[in-house]
Structure 1
Amino acid sequence: MTTALVTGANRGIGRHLASQLLERGAKVYAAARRPETLDLPGAVPVALDITDPDAVAAAAALATDVDLLINNAGVSTGATLLGDLGPVRTELDVNFWGTLAMVRAFAPVLAANGGGAVVNVASALSWFAFPGAGAYAVSKAANWNMSNALRLELAGQGTQVTSVHLGAADTDMMKDYDGDKTDPATVAARTLDAVAAGELEVVVDEWSAMVKASLARDPREFYAGFLPA
């Protein structure tokens, strides 16, 4: 983790990831759609919309020394699958296609720098769905299994792929959520420690661990409160 690029680095978990990497002595490219919103002394600001192929290519051409790619940028619109398809496509464009575009662009960079690592910030919603978050759940499920597939495809060049899963974090995206929230600084620290230890999956909180464990059981148990008896 000597040189990292972090997407969505202007706020929330992404900002904490970039800040903690700087504290750990790494060179950091801090990427955001609006680089003027970045407040990370010591980081290299990068203007980047991960849904823009030209911007992704420019970032890869600029940051040729990267050995850690952190795909943190994401979006949640609250879209349902049977409603307007526009925001459904937006979530998939960012959370799946944009993330995949970043990995495709940076895979040769990582290979040239010894393999390195990719971190994809997913969610506990990779493993379940919730009313009002259908599109997000689908996009994060795709993100999770994309990490599994990329882990196999990039193994030959020595690139580690780590997927990060958490419930609610105390970020702008979850500002209207009234339940318990994890400190984004804690998410960042656990993620970076896991990457350094060679872990392939980071289950940040007890909620996420419970959700993952539920996959081995009858889904009626998990969704009992939403389905007819």
Structure 2
Amino acid sequence: MDTSSTRTKHAFAVEGSVALVTGANRGLGRLFAQQLTERGAARVYAAARRPEEIDLPGVVPLGLDITNDRSVRSALARAGDVTLLVNNAGISNWTHLVTSDLAALRQEMDTNFWGTLAMVRAFAPVLGANGGGAILNVLSAQSWFAFPGTNGYHAAKAAQWALTNGVRMELADQGTLVTGLHLGAVDTDFSAAYDGPKGDPAVSVRAGLDGLARGAVEVLADEWSAHVKRALADDPTRLAREIGSGVV
């Protein structure tokens, strides 16, 4: 379910594109690589820290650790024809801001915020040189609400949302579409520790790619994400109470 309505002046054609997907060895990333191939992308670089785990036919496995500058530069050297960057790689260490280990909190920010920014900074000139292209940042409904036990992730995703909005403005002149994809929990190993309702990850991936095709700058992949965004002007503790009471 895609509830987005905000659009730019141009859409992005997935068919014939050259895409790079981070975190593509499993979960959402694997589905992005698969669906891009099915939609006629000319080439799909499936990037992961462990590229030997990538088992999709028709993709180009690419070793990449987005938190390592040398690794990012190496990926850039191999994938200079990219027209679509899908920043999917992310991490949640199930942290509390006040009491959890600082190293675990820093890892969440290093991956979700700094890693995404490193990829954008590296590939933005390539996208510009290749006609503008597009960036799809995989965000989260937790960009917008706090919850005990996942607040390091919340802070990192909030920062990633702000990054997405800022980069969109900075890359507008080179014609790069920058789209943020927000989704609730989906049924992948990333959310294995969450025992609440989970959506179909393939539906969220489809919503993100459909959003690019329409030129959407923000895609809300499910009703939960739409509900959360509507609640931003409300009491900031409301959503945590709803989750705790089993409303969602």
| TM-score in terms of structure 1 length | 0.96
| Structure 1 equivalent of residue 37 of structure 2 | 22
Within 5 A, what are the aligned runs for 1:35-114? Answer: 35-83=51-99, 84-114=101-131
Instruction: Report the aligned-residue RMSD.
Output: 1.2
CA distance in 2, matches of 1:223, 1:40: 38
1:209 CA drift (Å): 0.8
CA distance in 1, matches of 2:125, 2:57: 28
| Structure 2 equivalent of residue 218 of structure 1 | 235
User: RCO greater where, 1 or 2, for CA within 8 Å and sep 6 or more?
Assistant: 2
Q: Secondary structure at the match of 1:28?
A: strand
| Structure 2 equivalent of residue 145 of structure 1 | 162
1:194 CA drift (Å): 0.4
| Structure 1 equivalent of residue 20 of structure 2 | 5
- Is 1:175 aligned to 2:192, yes or no? yes
CA distance in 2, matches of 1:95, 1:216: 25
Following TM superposition, where does structure 1 have runs of at least 4 consecutive aligned residues deviating by more than 4 angstroms? 223-226
- Tell me which of 173, 196, 206 is aligned to 1:189: 206
1:224 CA drift (Å): 4.9
1:25 CA drift (Å): 1.1
| Structure 2 equivalent of residue 34 of structure 1 | 50
Equivalent residue pairs, number: 226
| TM-score in terms of structure 2 length | 0.89
1:219 CA drift (Å): 2.6
The amino acid across from 2:69 in the alignment is P
| Structure 1 equivalent of residue 8 of structure 2 | none
The amino acid across from 1:8 in the alignment is G
1:52 CA drift (Å): 0.5
The amino acid across from 1:23 in the alignment is E
1:222 CA drift (Å): 3.7
1:179 CA drift (Å): 1.8
CA contact (8 A) 2:145 2:236 kept: no
Within 5 A, what are the aligned runs for 1:95-134? Answer: 95-134=112-151
CA distance in 2, matches of 1:97, 1:193: 27
CA distance in 2, matches of 1:175, 1:192: 24
1:182 CA drift (Å): 1.2
Task: Quickly say closer, same or farther: Cα 1:47–1:223, change in 2 above 3 A.
Answer: closer
1:223 CA drift (Å): 4.7
CA distance in 1, matches of 2:234, 2:202: 32
CA distance in 2, matches of 1:72, 1:143: 11
1:40 CA drift (Å): 1.0
1:3 CA drift (Å): 0.5
Q: Report Cα offsets for 1:176-223 as digits up to 9, x if no partner.
A: 222221111111111101011100011111111111100122335445
Q: Secondary structure at the match of 1:82?
A: coil
Unaligned runs of 5+ in 1: none
Unaligned runs of 5+ in 2: 1-13
Task: Quickly say closer, same or farther: Cα 1:28–1:145, change in 2 above 3 A.
Answer: same
CA distance in 2, matches of 1:161, 1:59: 20
